[in-house]
Amino acid sequence: MITRPINEEEKQRTRDRVQVLNAHYQHRRWRLFWLLIGPGLLVMLGENDAPSMLSYSATGSQFGVGFFLPFVVFTFVLAFVAQEITVRLGAVSKTGHADLIYRRFGRFWGNFAMIDLLATNVMTLVTEFIGIVAGAGFFGIPPVVAVAGALLIIAAAVLSKRYWRWERMTLAFALFNLVFIPVAILVHPDWAQVGRAFVTWGPLPGGMNDNTLIILLADIGATITPWMLFFQQGAVSDKGLSVKDIQHGRLDTAIGAFLATIAACAAIIATAPLFLHHMNASQYGAARFAQALIPYAGRFGATLFALGILEAGLVAAITISTSSAYAFGEVTKVAHSLNRSFRQAKGFYVILLAVAAVSGAVVLLPGFPLELVVILVNVIAVLTMPPAIGFLLILANDRTIMGVHRNTWWLNILGVGVGVFVSVAGIVYALTVIIPGLK
């Protein structure tokens, strides 16, 4: 019998699995939890990216607390429903989302999903670098230096030749998303009012109008996007999770959703004092949110806010570019693992670094329309999610792929509910943008 040598990717993953098995057999629950968490935390905190946090900040500054706090909690519940499916898909199939779509639906739909993902990822990455430049601008760092520094950090993270090392490094950055919590505390909000908002879920401030509708739907696009499906399933596969680890994968995702929800709500609460200022997307480039918070949160609070925006853009730039590289590697059948060196997976790393570099370069173009891009990316994020949910649900119900781990009837109800909600939101959002003034 002819056998092939074990490659470096398989060696690294085997070492990780040995540690997991030892923790299982020794009943070291906290050790096991530490070894298995990662993809869920990263996907949820990564989705709290620069445009998302700026969207939540615009929400707080224009509407204060009230309707939008429980609404954001609701959208993260929807995100958890979708991401829990990717945990099972990755653990059962041992492969990425793009590869499964090609196998199940054929080359036409596989190419459609791939082109859709890469196009939206590049546009979203542009907004991440807008956030990086905006956050760095608060500290007087020139845009060129901010973009170059971000690219160096991305390269250092992904070229570590070890998925585990990359994951822990990115997690350390991702936890900085929680800096919005002390900012919210420093503005001294009316906590009784905040509590009532969650309990009563008050009406929309000022009723439904064009501006309210756009903010409402932008917050949906800030929570649920296609790249999350590709990233988490790819990360679960690259990490080597098995069907025995599905429960830990769910817990990982739930914790990530919980922390991301707190950070998102904190951004709304922190910017609520700017209610009367009516700040808009055109002010993002100069980091005006952080500057405007100085009278309410002090210089320290404003500094934390700027760092949060900078971190949000950086973490999302790492995770979104990685999701693009995973998908590219899956459909072109080339090596696509962070457990391989650059020499062993050149195509994977070139795509990962290239999409980040191109996106960063675009932001540096003179007269770049920041406001237009932020709005357009939110529109596309909502519009492209319905077909992504459709692919996800069909895969999750495929007996050949999932076996006993396929969706139950109640999971299908939840999944279809997410798809319908996002579809309706996408249609209304598109019509609102295409036909200004539509009521």
What's the rounded mean pLDDT across residues 151-169?
82
Distance of alpha carbon 133 from alpha carbon 218, whole angstroms? 21
Query: What's the pLDDT score for residue 76?
Result: 93
Distance of alpha carbon 248 from alpha carbon 260, whole angstroms? 18
φ/ψ of residue 408, rounded to 5: -85, 170
What digits encode the pLDDT tens for the residues 22-39? 777 777 888 888 888 889
What's the rounded mean pLDDT across residues 294-299?
87
CATH tag for 22-434 (out of 3.40.1410.10, 1.20.1730.10, 3.40.50.720, 3.40.190.80): 1.20.1730.10
Residue among 400, 375, 327 nearest 93 (CA)? 400
Structure tokens at 160: 């570590």
Distance of alpha carbon 318 from alpha carbon 53, whole angstroms? 17
Contact 232, 84 (CB under 8 A): no
Segment holding 17, helix H or strand E: helix 8-25
Contact 45, 368 (CB under 8 A): no
Contact 217, 5 (CB under 8 A): no
Query: What's the pLDDT score for residue 2?
Result: 45
Domain spans of the chain?
A: 22-434
Distance of alpha carbon 275 from alpha carbon 194, whole angstroms? 15
Report DSSP letters for 210-248, one per residue.
HHHHHHHHHHHHTT--HHHHHHHHHHHHHHT--GGGHHH
Helices (H), 94-159: 97-105, 107-137, 143-158
Structure tokens at 208: 């439904």
What's the rounded mean pLDDT across residues 276-294?
61
Residue 285 has pLDDT above 50, yes or no: no
Q: How confident is the model at residue 278 (pLDDT cuts 50, 70, 90)?
A: low
What's the rounded mean pLDDT across residues 43-59?
86
**Residues for the chain: how many in total?**
439
Angle CA(287)–CA(261)–CA(41) in degrees, nearest 5? 95
- The percent of residues above 90 in pLDDT, for the chain, comes to 18
Query: What's the pLDDT score for residue 175?
Result: 87
Q: Which residues contact 5 (CB under 8 A, 6 or more apart)?
A: none
Q: Which burial class, exposed, middle or buried, applies to 25 when counting CB atoms under 10 A from its CB (0-12, 13-18, 19+)?
A: exposed
Residue among 220, 201, 191 nearest 386 (CA)? 220
The pLDDT mean for the chain works out to 82
Q: How confident is the model at residue 326 (pLDDT cuts 50, 70, 90)?
A: confident
Residue 208 DSSP one-character state = S
